[in-house]
Amino acid sequence: MSKLLAIATTIKDWQVAEISALAEEYTVRLASDLTDEDFPNIEILYGWKNEFADQFLTQGYDSLRWIQVQFAGVNQLPSEILSDDNIRITNMSGIHAIPITETVFGYILNQYRHLLLYKTRQASSTWQAEANHRSLTDKKIIVFGAGNIGREIARLAKAFGMVTIGVNTSGRAVEYFDTTVDTDTALAESTDADIIVNVLPATDATNNIFSLDFFSRQTAQPIFINVGRGNAVVDEDLIAALDQEFLSYAALDVFDVEPLASDHPFWQHEKIDVTPHMTGQVEHFADETYKIFHANITDYLAKNELPVNLVSKEKGY
């Protein structure tokens, strides 16, 4: 049987045609057209669907050599595939930086400027201004994860006149951050941050790092925003930190188990805003993702290389 290139992400007709022309030695097939018998013959997979895990593990994946996922994280993939040295994985790191950053500042400005409160008062024709509006100038923001997304958050924060602190594994300097510190130091020390943002990926090293021990050492009752992954937060500790006023507010877009259960206490907590893992949604998604896939498949076919966003199996991102 001929080699298969399967597409399991949002794509335009002209892009499918271009892929077929580039990969003329492959049969190009959309996910909706795949059969169980196809899975052992897929060599290139553009996109990922969660139901593929069972199909690959049941039918086999002997031919699989490259997966281009349509998201930044890779924790959705089964461990058997993640650990297979014959399979390379590339992600879409970078394309989500702008929409995630815009949403982060949406959370912040909504809280600082009471925009939602005024919308609720509008329904009752209530003309009543709050006295405690806050501004972003000179506020201190700490961003856990100083990669593409963290750097974009810092860039916009500097436009607001904020003090920016970045957190990465080594503490190396990163553009737009006034200061950077290593992760262990940032988690262990007390801070006077006004805003804490997590954009870290899901890895063994990030499990449960935001606990009551961490939250209780914050001295300025900061806002906590999680747009990274839900594994980093101990849910009950976050609630306790809000109830005990170590934190003033939390905006959560990612959760350890998704979708968030309808009876989860996050839904009803007055100091928590929940969004359904939407911050990374890109307006022109098919175009932005295809730029990365096109660059990779061109080099993959020519010289078996993947130049853009190759995931480190050791780091998990």
pLDDT of residue 294: 98
CA–CA distance, 309 with 98 (Å, rounded to integer): 17
CA distances from 202 to 60, 103, 142, 155, 206 (A): 26, 20, 19, 24, 6
What is the predicted pLDDT for the residue at 30? 98
Give the least confident one: 69-83, 172-186, 258-272: 69-83
Q: What is the DSSP letter of 260?
A: P
- Work out the percent of the chain whose per-residue pLDDT is above 70: 100
Distance CA 232, CA 210 (A): 6
- Average pLDDT of span 72-79: 90
Convert the pLDDT of each residue in 204-233 to its tens digit.
Answer: 999 999 999 999 999 999 999 999 999 999
> Structure pTM?
0.89
- Give the whole-angstrom CA distance, residue 294 versus residue 19: 8
Mean pLDDT to the nearest integer, 130-155: 96
- In this structure, what token pair is assigned to residue 42? 């897929």
Tokens of 115: 């925009």
Relative to beta strand 140-144, strand 42-46 is: unpaired
Q: Residue 144: pLDDT above 80?
A: yes
For residue 2, what is the enclosing H or E element?
none
- Average pLDDT (156-170) is 98
List of domains in the chain: 3-94+285-303 (3.40.50.720), 97-274 (3.40.50.720)
Chain CA centroid to CA 166, Å: 17
311 secondary structure, DSSP code:
P
pLDDT higher than threshold 90 for residue 7 = yes
pLDDT band for position 1 (cuts 50, 70, 90)? low
* Per-residue pLDDT at 313: 85
Q: What is the pLDDT of residues 242-253, one digit of tens each?
A: 999 999 999 999
Cα–Cα dist 89/68, whole Å = 6
**Residue 16: how many CB atoms within 10 A of its CB?**
15
Looking at residue 314, its pLDDT comes to 83
Region 142-146: mean pLDDT is 98
Q: Is the confidence at residue 49, as pLDDT, over 70? A: yes
The pLDDT, as a whole number, for residue 173 is 98
Mean pLDDT in residue range 98-118: 97
pLDDT value at residue 261: 98
